[in-house]
Amino acid sequence: MMLNSIRSRLTAWHVALLGAILILFSVLLYFFLSKRLHEGIDNSLMVSASVVRKTALLEYSRNPLPGLEFFFDQFLGYSNLNKFYRIYDGSGNVGSRSQGMDASQFPLTQAAYMRAIKGLETYETFMVSENDPLRVITLPVIREDTLINLVQVGTSLVGVNETLKNLRFFLFATIPGVLVLSTLVGRFMARRALQPVAKITQAARQIASGADLSRRIPVPEVQDEIGYLAATFNEMMARLEKSFTQMRQFSSDASHELRTPLTVLKGQSELILRKQREPGEYQEVLSSNLEEINYMSRILDDLFILSKSDEAQVPLEYSQVDLKLIVEEVCKHLEILADEKNIKIIMAYLEIVSLKGDAHRLRQMVSTLLHNSIKYTPENGEIKVTLQDMGEYAYFTIADNGIGIPESDLPLIFNRFYRVDKARSREEGGSGLGLCICKHIVDLHHGKIEVESRLKEGTKFKIRLPKTALQNESNG
Ligand code: ADP
């Protein structure tokens, strides 16, 4: 058996272990059974010999005992038919013996006689002939501290040996059979158990060769280790697919957004270079080109932030942030822009709120929202900013009385590059990424951003940010 597959190794281990257990079990079984059978024989010899000894102690014990054969048959039953006995007198001469078997074939040994004098019984095994062992007990009959008789009872061990031989044969015949059967069953079971792994491998190979990331492998109904492997594999594929889709989306968005300014740059540069121009004309084209370059660099910056967010690796730097201070600073900073359009920024209600977060990102979020309000509010408009401490979270709102957003566009404005009025947004220098970045920042702080808007009436953004430590703080 080649052991280069898990299936073969599993089977080999299983069979080796089973073989070792079976052999150990057989050895122990044989040993204990043999011991028990021999003990049983010895016990039965002792019982028989004790009965004879009692008889020998009767009055007429000195003479050859009459009726012992009859006694054996009547009181000890058929189990004694294969036994035979012999009684010696105290000096070692045969006094009486059974007729049934040839008792002369086993001797009274010197060792047994010496032990009998000391009052001890002796068990011995003699080979009467080949394959015919005889177990004999020699029991002393003692009266008033004197050895008056010796009782010997013997029985053949052929029956016991036969039983043990049969057991040996059975074990030698069945163990290899069981091992062969177990190998076959083990291989079959291992193949069945590992079949889903083979399917996973096949699917993985197909995905690798065809790069079809939408493929999933069937998850077995039973949620075992293989089921978890399949589910984990599918999860990994889903993540990979999402990443690839985002990457593709990212590059297509980026190239699409950069194409327009590049076309403008190219067109203007080609046009101006066609003939000799006045210095003023060059200056005009160059400053227009600079605007396009600035626009592109802004898009690239925003895309860079978003690409990092997609990979969930925005390096957040957590600290205790004074949100009120941030809001005030941003409002002050953007007041110049608002003043140009005579827009009033009203800090209607600002409470002191301190929360755990990334000050730089939060500033970016407030700035983007306020900048949007200024961009999309006509002259003489009004922007109201509020900040409240709601206990568990900070509640920040920014409301303008600007152009508003059509209801149908509301669910889409947080999408990447989504603009209600593309021309207007472009005119205002917008990249269509601002709200998308805001949402990412809020999400990273485990907060919530909502928008309410009515066309030509105004727009209100509402943000909730939890104040306590965040789950993914360790990312920062
Ligand atoms: P942009 O760079 O175009 O401003 P944003 O992602 O910041 O991109 O916003 C997406 C779109 O949502 C904008 O193009 C605009 O149409 C709309 N929008 C955002 N804020 C406001 C607002 N305060 N009032 C009206 N429309 C808004």
165-169 long-range contacts (CB < 8 A, ≥24 apart) are: 167/29, 167/30, 167/33, 168/30
For position 55, what pLDDT does the model report?
72
What SS3 class is residue 311?
Answer: coil
Which has the closest alpha carbon to 463: 366, 373, 331? 366
What is the number of other CB atoms lying within 10 angstroms of the CB of residue 275? 6
Q: What is the percentage of the chain residues whose pLDDT exceeds 70?
A: 86
Mutate which of 299, 345, 376 for ligand 1? The one with the most ligand atoms within 8 Å of its CB, which is: 376
pLDDT tops 90 at residue 318: no
Model confidence at 71, in pLDDT bands (50, 70, 90)? low
- Read off φ and ψ for residue 33, nearest 5 degrees: -65, -45
Ligand 1: which residue has its CA nearest to atom 4?
430
User: What tens digit of pLDDT does each residue of 48-68 get?
Assistant: 888 877 776 664 444 545 455
Which of 109-118, 189-198, 275-284, 345-354 is least confident?
189-198
Choose one of 403, 405, 416, 460 to mutate for the ligand 1 pocket test, by most ligand atoms within 8 angstroms of C-beta. 405
Decide: 261 and 295 in contact? Cβ < 8 Å: yes
Query: Separation of 121 CA from ligand 1 center, angstroms?
Result: 113
The answer to whether the CB of 437 is under 6 A from ligand 1 is no
The band of 94, judged by pLDDT with boundaries at 50, 70 and 90, is low
Strands (E), 159-255: none
pLDDT one-digit tens code per residue, 360-382: 889 999 999 999 999 999 999 99
H helix or E strand, kind and range, residue 90: none
Cα separation, 56 vs 64, whole angstroms: 10
Region 16-38 average pLDDT: 94
Ligand 1 atom 2: residue of nearest CA:
430
Alpha carbons within 13 angstroms on the beta-carbon side of residue 267 total 8
Range with lowest mean pLDDT among 50-59, 137-146, 288-297, 381-390: 50-59
pLDDT value of position 394: 96
Give, for ligand 1, the residue of 305, 367, 413, 437 to mutate: max count of ligand atoms closer than 8 Å to Cβ.
413
State the distance from the centre of ligand 1 to the C-alpha of 365, rounded, in angstroms.
13
| pLDDT tens-digit series, residues 323-348 | 999 999 999 999 999 999 999 999 98
Whether the full predicted model's pTM is greater than 0.75, yes or no, is no
- Token look-up 């008889």 returns 55
Which atom of ligand 1 is found nearest the CA of 425?
3
Pick the residue whose CA is nearest to atom 19 on ligand 1: 372
Which atom of ligand 1 is nearest to 430's Cα? 2
Question: Ligand 1 atom closest to Cα of 422?
Answer: 14
Q: What per-residue confidence (pLDDT) applies to 57?
A: 67
Q: What is the pLDDT of residue 75?
A: 54
pLDDT at 123: 94
Cβ(433) – ligand 1 distance below 6 Å: yes
For 142-154, the pLDDT digits (tens) are 877 777 778 888 8
Strand 344-350 with 354-357, pairing: unpaired
Q: What is the CA radius of gyration of the chain?
A: 52
Q: What is the best residue among 306, 409, 419 to mutate for testing ligand 1's pocket, by most ligand atoms within 8 Å of CB? A: 419
The residue whose CA has the least distance to atom 14 of ligand 1 is: 419
Q: For residue 3, what pLDDT band results from cuts at 50, 70 and 90?
A: low
Rounded-to-integer distance, Cα 347 and Cα 150, Å: 126
- pLDDT (0 to 100) of residue 298: 83
pLDDT in tens, 456-466: 999 999 999 99
Q: What is the pLDDT of residue 476?
A: 35
Among the ranges given (71-75, 202-206, 264-268, 336-340), the one the predictor scored with the smallest mean pLDDT:
71-75
* Angle subtended by helix axes 279-310 and 434-444, to nearest 10: 30
